[in-house]
């Protein structure tokens, strides 16, 4: 089977493309440039590389046609962010392929209601990214269930892995949060630190896409969460990270209004986005229908990512020997 991966040189693609090759698929990787994958793998030698500028091609109404001319049996779209972009793919590929897989996001849920959230819960998205992704989901599922278009949607959580900065225990991307915890310094958290984040290793996301391809009959017309087995509270996350460095977390809890005054606008915006969503998603459906079996817990995924940041000098810290995740 010939599989075209749009956005194949990205973080998930670094793991996904070799998995596809090893599973026996003929792989075409479509990307805007010739960026090297985050991790070297000999499987890339057998991959056909195609350079396409999606934004420019879509502006001319030709991107979907260009993908169709690659004659795929399946398309994995990692970088679709608007319903208009999705529509161009559907109209160009309708009747021409066996499977279309879209990379969504758990942000389609908006705020949590019942947790762990299941895929069938009503959507309450907020923020441009979540709203657009929810609209794409609704469109593709309608096309699958009423129009016969063979679409599947996979919704990852906070993707982490080597070369990728994880959402930290304060709910943003400031690497100094990890450094404070490593030194045993006090860390302020908003509210009581009980909001949640839900990570997933990039290789587990890659696994889910391959499992969806392999389980076509169960996957078409469905959406699936792709996250670790359990979410983390900010407090529990901070305590675990401190423990990796032989420290006990010194945490201070403040109101949101007070907390945001002590950080940059960018950090406050990132934290608010994460704690307002407080994702906590079930993977029971993906386990049952796709045999999705994540290898990494949230903490294991973050620790590997953090190790890469320490090794490359992006976080100044030193592991405590003999401490495991």
Tokens of 285: 């459906």
pTM comes to 0.96
316 in a domain, yes or no?
no
Q: Encoding tokens for residue 10?
A: 């990205």
Average pLDDT of the chain is 96
**Closest by Cα among 89, 75, 67 to 152:** 75
Q: Quick one: tokens of 295?
A: 């290898």
- Statement to judge: residues 41 and 142 lie in one domain: yes
Residue 150 lies in a domain: yes
User: Do 42 and 64 fall into the same domain?
Assistant: yes
- Asked whether residue 107 falls in the same domain as residue 216, the answer is yes
172 and 209 share a domain? no
Check whether residue 237 and residue 215 sit in a common domain: no
CATH number at residue 268: 3.90.25
Tokens 């930290």 belong to residue: 168
For 4-62, how does the pLDDT look when each residue is reduced to its tens digit (9 = 90+)? 999 998 999 999 999 999 999 999 999 987 667 777 789 999 999 999 999 999 999 99
Residue 142 lies in a domain: yes
Q: Are residues 44 and 185 located together in one domain of the fold?
A: no
- Please count the structural domains in the chain: 2
Regarding whether 137 and 29 lie in a shared domain, the answer is: yes
Q: What is the domain extent for residue 6?
A: 2-159+199-226
What are the residues whose beta carbons fall under 8 Å from the beta carbon of 229, sequence distance 6 or more?
Answer: 283, 294, 297
92 lies in the same domain as 175 = no
Query: Are residues 244 and 118 part of one domain?
Result: no
pLDDT in tens, 222-266: 999 999 999 999 999 999 999 999 999 999 999 999 999 999 999
């Amino acid at each position: 089977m010939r599989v075209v991966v749009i956005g194949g040189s990205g973080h998930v693609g670094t793991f996904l493309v070799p998995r596809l090759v090893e599973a026996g698929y003929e792989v075409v990787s479509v990307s805007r440039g010739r960026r090297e994958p985050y991790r070297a793998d000999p499987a890339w030698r057998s991959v056909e590389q195609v350079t396409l500028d999606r934004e420019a091609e879509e502006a001319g109404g030709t991107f979907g046609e260009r993908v169709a001319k690659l004659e795929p049996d399946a398309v994995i779209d990692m970088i679709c962010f608007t319903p208009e972009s999705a529509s161009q793919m559907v109209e160009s590929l309708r009747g021409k392929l066996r499977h279309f897989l879209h990379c969504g996001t758990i942000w389609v849920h908006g705020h949590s209601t019942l947790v762990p959230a299941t895929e069938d819960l009503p959507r309450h998205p907020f923020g441009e990214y979540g709203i657009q992704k929810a609209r794409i989901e609704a469109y593709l599922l309608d096309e699958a269930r009423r129009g016969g278009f063979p679409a599947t949607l996979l919704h990852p959580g906070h993707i982490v892995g080597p070369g990728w900065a994880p959402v930290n225990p304060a709910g943003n991307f400031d690497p100094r949060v990890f450094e404070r915890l490593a030194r045993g310094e006090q860390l302020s958290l908003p509210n009581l630190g009980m909001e949640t984040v839900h990570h997933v290793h990039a290789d587990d996301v890659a696994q889910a896409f391959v499992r969806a391809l392999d389980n076509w009959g169960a996957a078409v017309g469905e959406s699936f969460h792709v996250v670790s087995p359990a979410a983390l509270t900010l407090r529990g996350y901070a305590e675990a990270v401190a423990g990796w460095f032989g420290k006990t977390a010194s945490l201070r809890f403040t109101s949101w209004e007070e907390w945001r005054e002590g950080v940059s606008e960018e950090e406050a915006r990132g934290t608010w986005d994460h704690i307002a969503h407080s994702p906590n998603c079930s993977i029971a459906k993906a386990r049952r229908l796709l045999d999705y079996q994540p290898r990494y817990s949230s903490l294991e995924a973050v620790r590997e990512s953090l190790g890469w940041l320490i090794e490359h000098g992006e976080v100044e810290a030193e592991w405590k020997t003999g401490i495991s995740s």
